[in-house]
Amino acid sequence: MADDRQSEEWQAGRLRRVVAASMIGTTIEWYDFFLYGSAAALIFNKLFFPSYDPFVGTLLAFATYAVGFVARPLGGIVFGHYGDRIGRKRLLMLSLILMGVATVLIGLLPTYSQIGIWAPAGLIALRLVQGFAVGGEWGGAVLMAAEHGDSARRGFWASWPQAGVAAGSLLSAGVLALMAGLQSEADFLAWGWRIPFLMSALLVVVGWYIRNRVEESPMFEKALAEAEVPPKLPAMDVIRERPRAVVLGAGLRVGENISYYILTVFSLTFLVDVAAETRSLALQALLIGAAVQFFAIPLFARLSDRIGRRPVYAFGGLGLAAFGFAFFPMLASGDPALIVLALVAGLVLHSAMYGPQAAFITELFPTRIRYSGVSIAYQLTSILAGSLAPIVALWLYREYDSALPVAIYVGVACFVSGVSALLAKETRGIELSAIR
């Protein structure tokens, strides 16, 4: 009896370490990725594209931001391939290093005034490395948590790497807000913006230490032992065996992905350049929204463990489709309280999709090809969804001189995700080992 209790305590302790390592590592990687997005919205148009008018400069900055999304599917396929062949843990360590090095180098990159066209070229190259790294990160981090956890609370455990994304956004917005608040705009543009990028070096060291202490997924090790030889081309196996799961995963992702980057990236540009609010207010509002979302994600995930993935996800998608029409009038109101409320409400509704998402997509694929499956389903959508969302939104606003087309764009995308959830098979409580 005592031995059983000790074994249960040991298992619980191991699960907590795995979940903490997944969340902290994801926080660090997405801090780096979101830092670039915030900087693209507020800074890079002035430093790397100064010869263009403000609108074109911002559009070009968003284009370099989008490049990172183009590399994400490639990262997902490569990391998924080796993650299904040699294990989840080693690939997660590699993604952390790649992301950290690229981010630090962005912080050291000379600007257009110093080296001309080589500055945006270097920015694009480093953004590609960031995208490649984060493309491999999500699948591994989610699977480490999901495959260690139990079926009754898988949504909750797998949601913590998702919460790490919100924490990364919170951290990046917070550091930028702090630097912008402590410095004059001239000093911030001259050198202050570099500090948050250089801080990544310290964060990577912390993340490496924590991740290095966790064990490989026991479910993966068991599947590898039973198979005797790992799959040769797991990505091809995914396309051949699970095409419906890939399409369903993409449907679940499209609205969630587009809405998130409208809420966290385009909203900054809208507040500063359209609504004429201060950069400080924009970052502080995003900071509060990200803080609330950090707690909302696991709460919605836990709810999905109780009542099902489908109803929670559909609520988020359909709710955000409707709320998008109120979102921009609230941002343009000039009332700081309404601006904060807009971002908080939008990110809470987004959390109803993002919380259950990790478990929902994980439960679509068998263990032997799961890393490749979740990465392909998750990352392919990024090319046409998250990467283009700020660019499409900026173009729509400029073309029609109204935020209504942007709200329609978000509404259609979120409607697709809500309906995809309703059309999906309920997977709550399913045993991952039973998926063949």
Structural domains of the chain, with CATH: 7-434 (1.20.1250.20)
Q: Which of 316, 18, 19 is nearest to 156 (CA)?
A: 19
Exposed / middle / buried, residue 99 (Cβ in 10 Å: 0-12, 13-18, 19+): buried
Q: Region 7-20: what's the mean pLDDT?
A: 65
Q: Over 80: is that where the pLDDT of 230 sits?
A: no
CA distance 311 to 331: 29
Q: Is 419 exposed, middle or buried (0-12, 13-18, 19+ CB in 10 A)?
A: middle
Among candidate residues 135, 134, 136, 157, the one with its CA nearest the CA of residue 87: 136
pLDDT score at 72: 81
pLDDT at 61: 65
What is the average per-residue pLDDT within 402-410? Answer: 96
Contact 164, 360 (CB under 8 A): no
Neighbours of 124 (CB within 10 A): 14
Supply 199's token pair. 């801080």
Which ranges of 87-199 would DSSP assign to H, the alpha helix?
88-108, 112-115, 118-148, 154-182, 185-187, 194-198
Query: How far apart, in whole angstroms, are the C-alpha atoms of residue 269 and residue 388?
Result: 15
Per the model's pLDDT, the better-predicted residue between 79 and 350 turns out to be: 350
Q: Which one of 62-71, 97-106, 208-217, 399-408 scores highest in mean pLDDT?
A: 399-408
Q: Which of 324, 297, 311, 327 has the alpha carbon at shortest distance from 413?
A: 324
Angle between helices 154-182 and 118-148 (to 10 degrees): 150
CB 319 within 8 A of CB 166: no
417-431: average pLDDT: 92
Per-residue confidence (pLDDT) for residue 312, from 0 to 100:
97
Backbone phi, then psi, for 186, in 5-degree steps?
Answer: -65, -45
Q: Give the number of other CB atoms < 10 A from CB of residue 241.
A: 14
b (16+ CB within 10 A) / e for 302-340 = bbbbeebbbbbbbbbbbbbbebbeebbebbbeeeeeebb
pLDDT tens readout for residues 74-127: 888 888 888 888 877 888 788 888 888 888 998 899 988 888 888 888 888 888
Per the model's pLDDT, the better-predicted residue between 195 and 308 turns out to be: 308
Cα–Cα distances in angstroms (integers) from residue 244 to residues 72, 121, 199, in the given order: 21, 39, 42
Structure tokens at 414: 């979120």
Burial of 404: CB neighbours in 10 Å, binned 0-12, 13-18, 19+: middle
The segment with the largest mean pLDDT, out of 72-81, 386-395, 421-430, is 421-430
pTM: 0.83
**Residue 102, C-beta contacts closer than 8 angstroms, at least 6 positions apart:** 32, 126, 127, 129, 130, 133
The pLDDT of residue 354 is 95
Per residue in 122-180, pLDDT tens? 888 888 888 888 888 778 888 887 887 778 889 998 898 888 888 887 888 788 778 77
Number of residues that make up the chain: 436
Distance CA 434, CA 69 (A): 33
Q: What are phi and psi of 11, to 5 degrees?
A: -65, -40
* Averaged pLDDT, 9-32: 72
Q: What is the pLDDT of residues 28-54, one digit of tens each?
A: 777 877 777 677 667 777 777 776 656
Q: Residue 225: helix, strand or coil by DSSP? A: helix
Q: Give CA–CA dist 104/126, Å, rounded.
A: 10
Q: Sign of the CA dihedral 92, 98, 100, 106?
A: negative
Q: Which secondary-structure segment (H or E) carries 213?
A: none
Could you give the CA distance from residue 88 to residue 137 in angstroms, rounded to a whole number? 10
Which residue matches tokens 């729509």?
A: 396
What is the identity of the amino acid at 423?
Answer: L
| Residue 382 reports pLDDT greater than 90 | no
User: How far apart are the C-alpha atoms of 82 and 85, rounded to whole Å?
Assistant: 5
Binned at pLDDT 50, 70 and 90, residue 7 comes out as very low
